[in-house]
Homo-oligomer: A and B are copies of this chain.
Amino acid sequence: MQERAAPLDAETKVAERPHDHKDELRLWLRLFACKEVIEGEVRRRLRHSFDVTLPRFDLMAQLYRAPKAMTLGELSQRMMVSNGNVTGLVDRLVEQGLISRRPSPKDRRAQLVSLTAEGRRFFRAMARENGDWIADMLADLSGEEIETLMRLLAKTKASARKAIGNGVPR
């Protein structure tokens, strides 16, 4: 087994334990698997119950939560996806009549999007079901376990962000 030459300065945690990275790797794989199971089922049910994809649901959720109409740029930042991606999603949702898009009165470069009345009703129905699905899937976890997971996952995310150099979301 190959010894790793760790940098001598601040972050020598990995080198301190002669352990290889097995535990961390296994944790990552388990986190990933866990997310796959839940997300897969959410996608399936959104599709079968509402004929909607998860990305469209996410976009509508952003608009639903927002107090005012949003530009495509704001949307893409909040959803953490590329601009071009949002362009396509908005196209399709407008075509479905669930959101509306109009030029910004302030800036002729920008477009403002918001839920239509139908989009609002539709999203509310989906969100209610979605909450039930998640609650069912996590039903075997006690309140205490949920709290522990919340805390440790927050720490995990913070640790990852720090290593990435992305300490603050922006």
Contacts and interface: CB of A to CB of B under 8 A. Distances in A.
Contacts of A148: 148, 152
A27 interface: yes
Contacts of A14: 132, 135-136, 139, 143
A110 interface: no
B157 A140 contact: no
Contacts of A146: 23-24, 27
Interface stretch (A70-78, A85-93, A112-120, A159-167): A159-167
The copy count of this chain in the complex is 2
Contact of A158 (B132, B140, B144, B157): B140
B153 A138 contact: no
Residue of A32, A33, A141 with most chain B CB atoms under a 10 A cut-off: A141
- The secondary-structure label for the interface of chain A is helix
Contacts of A143: 11, 13-14, 17, 23
Contacts of A39: 32
Contacts of A141: 24, 27, 152, 155-156, 159
Contacts of A17: 143
Given A11-B136, A27-B138, 4 more contacts: A21-B131, A21-B135, A137-B160, A149-B153
Interface of A: 2, 4, 11, 13-14, 17, 20-21, 23-28, 30-39, 41, 80, 128, 130-132, 134-141, 143-146, 148-150, 152-164, 166
